[in-house]
Amino acid sequence: MKMKKFLAAVSSLVMLGAFTACGDSSSNESTNNNSNNNTEATTKANDAATEADAGADNNNSAAGKTVGIAMPTKSLERWNRDGEYLKSQFEAAGYSVELKYSDNNDNQQNNDIQGMIADKVDLLLIAAIDGSTLSQTLADAKDAGIPVIAYDRLIMNTDAVSYYVSFDNYTVGKLQGEYVVETLDLDNAAGPFNIEFTAGDPADNNAGYFFNGAYDAVKKYIDDGKLNIPSGKKKFEQVATAQWSTDTALANMQNTLASYYSDGTQLDVALCSNDSTALGVAQAISSDYNGKNVPIVTGQDGDIANLKNIVDGKQSMTVYKNVSDEAGVTLEVSKAILSGQTPDASLLDSLSAEATYDTSSYDNGVKTVPSYLLVPYVITKDNLDKLVDTGLYQWDSANKYLESTASTT
């Protein structure tokens, strides 16, 4: 292909040279101009050939290959965004995509993945509902020679997982805790202040990282007595929220407020691991809190309802994980695998998003899974335009609240 294009370019130049020979040979200016034009034509011809061949190579590597994507549920906004964005990214790169949402039912997710294995997909990309329930299904994937990437949530107790792509989950919690420290000025303020925790789903391996990162950031202030926990609930198991449920978080916070704050005791911080739990906690505070202050409420994900609450002063911050960045990194890792490469730290140079390559932190009980970890950041009322800059959000017609630019939310 390259040779044909090169010969075509050379043939064109020979004809151009013949036409030039028929002109005024006494004009040095004309000769120089023609020489420059010939050089430019050669360069353009070679560049076009190279670009065409590169495109052909990309199409050939994706042609006929299918990526199976298993997402947990459509009931949480963020998984809709992730699923649809991943699908569009892979299809734009020339791959076929089989996308399944499993309604937060781990049996259904196992069945969905088994269906993809039966369909002979070339790669599985899985955001697990329960990372400990997929071992046998992924053993079948391994037997079928299908590589597996754990997306956002680590999959446990299997050697079938090739890579893990996520954000630095400990840092997500750490950013939430540091926000509390800075906002309350805990290094200088006398205190004491009251704090309550709401953690995530025990079945989600990430939930422990989020909680530990947040707790570690404020632990010294708890130990010093500057932060008090009136409920006494300071262990993950005591504050976990099954399936990240908004309704469960609402009920739990209502119980906490009734038991420990009904006399007007001031709640200063409700440290929530994500936006769906923060939504329930903020609702409980609005309806059941007797204090005169507005507590700090943290979150994570950048869900539309929570961003509205941030504008309205009902939530203080969210830690945002750019789904387009996560999908982009996942695409590059997947392309490398599907082209027969073994991705490693060298892939970082080709990524458009800031990330690290980690081969020591994420042990799933059977193996330490090589991981690409992206960098999250804090969103408050003061920097909502940072979300608009991602292209995934836009201001509404009143320029007051953010709305999603995605086709589904």
- Residue 406: the pLDDT is 73
- Residue 230: the pLDDT is 98
Q: Tens digit of pLDDT for each residue in 211-238?
A: 999 999 999 999 999 999 999 999 999 9
Query: What pTM does this model have?
Result: 0.78
What does the block give as tokens for 378? 């804090």
What does the block give as tokens for 146? 């299908």
Average pLDDT for residues 299-321, to the nearest whole number?
97
Q: Tens digit of pLDDT for each residue in 73-87?
A: 998 888 988 999 999
Tell me which DSSP letter residue 403 carries: E
Provide the 3-class DSSP secondary structure of residue 349: helix
Amino acid type, 61:
S
Nearest to 269 by CA among 236, 293, 233, 240: 293
Nearest to 179 by CA among 52, 66, 310: 310
Q: With 80 as the cut, is the pLDDT of residue 115 above it?
A: yes
> CA 110, CA 100: separation in Å to the nearest integer?
11
Angstrom CA distances, 142 to 66, 147, 165, 240, 337, stand at 16, 7, 19, 33, 14
Residue 326: Cβ within 10 Å count: 22
- Residue 61: the pLDDT is 64
> CA 62, CA 42: separation in Å to the nearest integer?
30
